[in-house]
Amino acid sequence: MPRTTVISAPGKVLIAGGYLVLDPAYSGVVVSTSSRFYTALRDEPSLKPDTIRVRSPQFIDATWLYSAVLEPSVLIEPLGENSSKNKFVHLALQHTLSLAVEIKGVDAVREALSRALDITIVGDNDFYSQRSRLEALGLPRTIKSLSSIPPFCPTEVRLSEVHKTGLGSSAALITSLTSALLVHLSVIPEASLSDDSGEGRRLAHNLAQFVHCVAQGKVGSGFDVSAAVFGSHLYTRFGPSVIQELMSDDALPKLLPVLSPSNNAWDYRVENFKLPPYTRIMLADVDAGSDTPSLVGKVLKWRKEKSIEADALWKHLDQLNQSLAQTLLHLSKLHDQDPENYKNAVKYVSSLHSVQWDANPLQPAEELPIVKAFSEAHEISQEVRSKMKQMGDFSGVPIEPAEQTRLLDICISLPGVVGGGVPGAGGYDAIWLLVCDPASCKPDQTPLQRVERIWSTYKELNVSPLSSKESLAKGIRLESVDEIPGLASMLNT
Ligand SMILES: Nc1ncnc2c1ncn2[C@@H]1O[C@H](COP(=O)(O)OP(=O)(O)O)[C@@H](O)[C@H]1O
Ligand SMILES: C[C@@](O)(CCOP(=O)(O)OP(=O)(O)O)CC(=O)O
């Protein structure tokens, strides 16, 4: 049996810090999702040597063959028989193999390619909207219904036609593909991935950021790639100048001096963050859609024109975003200090509306700080929403449009819902909620089920849940084929 290397990378939700995170003075709170992209790589002796075959079996017309020439310089070229193009995949191969030759030498990479490479890419169903499939199956729009859809379900469309849900498919795809190549070609040892912030992971990060920027033709904040590599965290962006010399179309200089983890010009910061125990993020895809780049363009134009107003708003929002992150982290601490009382407090909070949480004169003293922290998290997240809405009103951009406000207000007023908002750039396409997820609860009375009841019957917008939770695994992960349900069969389709 040929060796198969599988690396997965999670999707993302920016719960606070949209727009601010584009500026290195501010940071964003990014949660990584249990939904992942998987890249499986194995030798394929039946193909011509120096050939790379990449397949995305969830899509129509999604097999791409490439020839690899390593000297005098690395050149990966799509073969004439390909019936579609994939710029993201092509650039990932080109730059990862170039970096591999710089680090391992041309002979080692030639040897690896002599048996040809077969690469399969699949993404969890959450990355693509399952609304029409649920409709076709006659199933209600609930998380339980989603679990009846087979893993890595074929989308029955071409990649260019698929309805994405906003979890950052291109960032997770690029990260899993480039990291799988680095591991398969022994550029980074498998074991280096067990270190959350070691050199191997940092090299994988720098490469994935660079490839993603070239593929997108622009340097964004990079929070999506960073979440794919490092998992949930507080992200402060890298200065774009670090990769500027690699972004031009001219002959590329060497990659390693720029992408090396010891290059101090990579000034991004990754600080610890995770959601509190016994809470769960809930995500929904809203069937309307917004174009992130056009929202970003308008907001940044307004910020430039009205810099005094904007600076005040950015500073205020940043304080709120940081307080939200710290309050949620504080809840984790309270849990670790006193797990029993924490569990009881979550149970209590789960049954009541947020306005009632800290109004109970009979609350046991040990639970008070926990309930108080939940109340604070609720209040701060509501203030974040209101400031983001203001940003939209000032800049003439629908960051939290009225339709989303109505939906969020209803969800957030349900018992046991801590808070929520529009993720990332906002707009019409998605919402996130943080709900309590108590250890035990009467059937039908969990905050999750309450929210699902609203979503599945909501009329003004068509709201379809995602099944994602937070991934506590720190970003890219080495997988074994047999442990991922459905993966083995995708490798052989
Ligand atoms: N399953 C997949 N297989 C191969 N390429 C993919 C897959 N999913 C996404 N891509 C690549 O990512 C591109 C989408 O990028 P983009 O529109 O920026 O997505 P996103 O908003 O999800 O980041 C596609 O054109 C394709 O090149
Ligand atoms: C505005 C932003 O700060 C956040 C955008 O976050 P989204 O999660 O909305 O992004 P897309 O996946 O590209 O739609 C832009 C950025 O940081 O790049």
pLDDT of residue 127: 97
Ligand 2 close to Cβ of residue 22 (< 6 A): yes
Enter the pTM of the model.
0.97
Q: What is the value of ipTM here, to two decimals? A: 0.97
Q: What is the CATH number of the domain that holds 242?
A: 3.30.230.10
Alpha carbon nearest to ligand 1 atom 21, residue = 168
Place of tokens 């940044």: 300
Q: Which domain holds residue 243?
A: 4-273+477-491
Ligand 2 close to Cβ of residue 228 (< 6 A): no
362 and 447 share a domain? yes
pLDDT of residue 479: 96
CA of 149 to the centre of ligand 1 (A): 22
Q: Are 463 and 455 in contact (CB under 8 A)?
A: yes
Fill in the amino acid letter for 339. Answer: P
Separation of alpha carbons 202 and 265, rounded Å: 13
CA of 169 to the centre of ligand 1 (A): 5
Ligand 1 close to Cβ of residue 220 (< 6 A): no
Q: Is residue 299 part of a domain?
A: yes
267 and 284 share a domain? no
pLDDT of residue 289: 65
260 and 284 share a domain? no
| Residue of 224, 237, 391, 428 to test ligand 2 pocket, by largest number of atoms within 8 Å of CB | 224
268 and 283 share a domain? no
Neighbouring CB atoms inside 10 A of 403's CB total 14
Separation of alpha carbons 184 and 187, rounded Å: 8
| Residue of 31, 291, 292 to test ligand 2 pocket, by largest number of atoms within 8 Å of CB | 292
**φ and ψ of 295, to 5 deg:** -65, -45
What is the tens place of the pLDDT at every residue in 348-402? 999 999 999 988 888 999 999 999 999 999 999 999 999 999 999 999 999 999 9
CA of 164 to the centre of ligand 1 (A): 9
CA of 170 to the centre of ligand 2 (A): 12
Coil/strand/helix, residue 141 = coil
Separation of alpha carbons 383 and 17, rounded Å: 13
Q: What is the CATH number of the domain that holds 454?
A: 3.30.70.890
Ligand 1 close to Cβ of residue 159 (< 6 A): yes
| Residue of 153, 173, 219 to test ligand 1 pocket, by largest number of atoms within 8 Å of CB | 173
Place of tokens 């909501």: 458
Separation of alpha carbons 205 and 98, rounded Å: 16
Q: Is residue 470 part of a domain?
A: no
Q: Is residue 11 part of a domain?
A: yes
Neighbouring CB atoms inside 10 A of 84's CB total 14
pLDDT of residue 492: 84
CA of 166 to the centre of ligand 2 (A): 9
Ligand 2 close to Cβ of residue 166 (< 6 A): yes
Strand partners, 210: none
CA of 424 to the centre of ligand 2 (A): 5
413 and 484 share a domain? no
CA of 376 to the centre of ligand 2 (A): 26
Alpha carbon nearest to ligand 2 atom 14, residue = 292
Separation of alpha carbons 126 and 285, rounded Å: 9
Q: Is residue 35 part of a domain?
A: yes
Helices (H) and strands (E) in the chain, counts: 16, 13
What is the tens place of the pLDDT at every residue in 245-301? 998 867 678 999 999 999 999 999 999 999 999 999 999 999 766 778 789 999 999
Alpha carbon nearest to ligand 1 atom 18, residue = 170
Ligand 1 close to Cβ of residue 330 (< 6 A): no
Instruction: List the structure tokens of 72.
Output: 């005098």
Q: Is residue 144 part of a domain?
A: yes
22 and 41 share a domain? yes
CA of 47 to the centre of ligand 2 (A): 39
Sequential pLDDT tens for the chain (493 residues): 568 999 999 999 999 999 999 999 999 999 999 999 999 999 988 899 999 999 999 999 999 999 999 999 999 999 988 889 999 999 999 999 999 999 999 999 999 999 899 999 999 999 999 999 999 999 999 999 999 999 999 999 999 999 999 999 999 999 999 999 999 999 999 998 888 889 999 999 999 999 999 999 999 999 999 999 999 999 999 999 999 999 886 767 899 999 999 999 999 999 999 999 999 999 999 976 677 878 999 999 999 999 999 999 999 999 999 999 999 999 999 999 999 999 999 999 999 999 999 888 889 999 999 999 999 999 999 999 999 999 999 999 999 999 999 999 999 999 999 999 999 999 998 999 999 999 987 777 899 999 999 999 999 999 999 999 999 998 999 999 999 999 999 998 7
- Helices 368-395 and 339-350 cross at an angle (nearest 10°) of 50
pLDDT of residue 401: 95
Q: Which residues contact 310 (CB under 8 A, 6 or more apart)?
A: 302, 303, 394
Separation of alpha carbons 4 and 264, rounded Å: 34
Q: Which residues contact 64 (CB under 8 A, 6 or more apart)?
A: 53, 54, 55, 78, 82, 84, 85, 86, 89, 90
Alpha carbon nearest to ligand 1 atom 11, residue = 170
Separation of alpha carbons 474 and 464, rounded Å: 27
158 and 224 share a domain? yes
Q: Are 180 and 40 in contact (CB under 8 A)?
A: yes
Q: Report DSSP letters for 241-264, one per residue.
A: HHHHTTSSSSPP--SHHHH-TT-T
Ligand 1 close to Cβ of residue 374 (< 6 A): no
Q: Which residues contact 268 (CB under 8 A, 6 or more apart)?
A: 222, 226, 235, 236, 237, 238
Ligand 1 close to Cβ of residue 123 (< 6 A): yes
Closest CA to 410 of 455, 367, 469: 455
pLDDT of residue 251: 66
| 233, 235, 241, 247: CA torsion to nearest 10 | 60
| Residue of 170, 212, 224 to test ligand 1 pocket, by largest number of atoms within 8 Å of CB | 170
329 and 243 share a domain? no
Q: Are 367 and 345 in contact (CB under 8 A)?
A: yes
Ligand 2 close to Cβ of residue 427 (< 6 A): no
Number of domains in the chain: 2
225 and 374 share a domain? no
Ligand 1 close to Cβ of residue 178 (< 6 A): no
195 and 53 share a domain? yes
262 and 291 share a domain? no
Alpha carbon nearest to ligand 2 atom 10, residue = 424
Coil/strand/helix, residue 365 = helix
250 and 159 share a domain? yes
Ligand 1 close to Cβ of residue 121 (< 6 A): yes
Q: Is residue 301 part of a domain?
A: yes
Q: Is residue 472 part of a domain?
A: no
Q: Is residue 317 part of a domain?
A: yes
Q: Are 120 and 461 in contact (CB under 8 A)?
A: no
Ligand 2 close to Cβ of residue 426 (< 6 A): no
What is each CA distance from 106 to 19, 72, 100, 103, 111, in whole angstroms? 42, 10, 8, 9, 9
CA of 18 to the centre of ligand 2 (A): 7
CA of 222 to the centre of ligand 2 (A): 9
Alpha carbon nearest to ligand 2 atom 13, residue = 292
Q: Are 79 and 93 in contact (CB under 8 A)?
A: no
SS3 sequence, 383-451? HHHHHHHHHHHHHCCCCCCHHHHHHHHHHHCCCCEEEEECCCCCCCCEEEEEEECCCCCCCCCCHHHHH
Coil/strand/helix, residue 313 = helix
